[in-house]
Copies of this chain bind each other. A is one copy, B any other.
Amino acid sequence: MPRRTIQQFRDERAHGHARLLETEHLGLKRFMSLDAGAYRDGALSSRTKELLGLVASTVLRCNDCIDYHLEQCVEQGWSDPEIEDALNVALLVGGSICIPHLRHARLSLDELRAERPGPPGPPPGIPGGTGSAT
């Protein structure tokens, strides 16, 4: 069976997320809201925190979470070498049990880059160039 594409992931996630939020459970809705807020600019930039989220998702081995944060990282201007350097930290910390997730991440990243014409580098207008979280 062919690999789930990143667009299939987006569609499944959107559908499930919308269904979850139809709940009347206030606690559940507040958690989702708090989770979104954790990645907004604070003492650390949103850009930096998406990279933290990617590494957390990788050591905890969740492909859905990896795909979500990878897309955010790409949108926020992280380059492939920077993302690989972050995933390498996850690999050392989490071990070879994470390798299937590194394969998944590499193929998802290929799909994300294919969607965006242009080099796998930071978009214009992001200060700090490579290697900097701002």
Chain A positions within 8 Å of B, measured between CB atoms, are 1-4, 8, 12-13, 16-17, 19-20, 23-25, 27-28, 30-32, 34-35, 37-39, 41-45, 48-49, 51-53, 55-57, 59-62, 64-65, 79, 81-82, 84-100, 102-104, 106-107, 110, 128, 130-134
Q: Let me know if A94 and B60 touch, CB within 8 A.
A: yes
Rounded to whole angstroms, the CA-CA distance of A8 and B9 in the bound complex is 20
Q: Let me know if A62 and B100 touch, CB within 8 A.
A: yes
Q: Let me know if A89 and B56 touch, CB within 8 A.
A: yes
**Of B39, B98, B103, the contact of A19 (CB 8 Å cutoff):** B103
A37 contacts which chain B residues (CB < 8 A)?
27
**Would A60 and B1 be within 8 Å (CB), given that A16-B104, A43-B84, A43-B131 are in contact?**
no
Q: Let me know if A100 and B132 touch, CB within 8 A.
A: no
Q: Let me know if A43 and B90 touch, CB within 8 A.
A: no
Q: Let me know if A81 and B25 touch, CB within 8 A.
A: yes
Q: Determine the residue in chain B with the shortest Cβ distance to A64.
A: B100
Rounded to whole angstroms, the CA-CA distance of A13 and B96 in the bound complex is 14
A114 → chain B closest CB, angstroms: 13
